[in-house]
A = this chain, B = another copy of it.
């Protein structure tokens, strides 16, 4: 018998997909308990780990903040609202970034996070 399809996995996976923004472990636990009141924190961690290994999920790390997770999507960056603490996805990127890196350094990846006040909080 291989991997089983449990209610917990379904709830957690769907929840992250439908969130529309990166979610933290605590958010997943709280929202998830709205569907399954006895959902355990260990199951949340285990499911996240599975989805990460399967390449369906990616971590969103905001410095000095808890890790969040979102469905894998094309290259993009994030905006964190300092008022409501929500994290938004921003589309695209700008090619001029590369000009900041001196000769001899090879860039393989980059992360960019904006901080400020979001539309809802303005």
Interface, chain A (partner B; CB < 8 A):
59, 61-64, 77, 79, 82, 88, 90-94, 96-97, 99-119, 122
* A98 → B minimal CB distance (Å): 9
Cβ A115 vs Cβ B110 within 8 A: yes
**Partner pick for A116 among B93, B107, B114, B115, CB 8 A cutoff:** B107
B residues in contact with A77, CB < 8 Å: 100
**Partner pick for A63 among B63, B117, B122, CB 8 A cutoff:** B63
B residues in contact with A111, CB < 8 Å: 63, 111-113, 115
Cβ B100 vs Cβ A97 within 8 A: no
Cβ B114 vs Cβ A110 within 8 A: yes
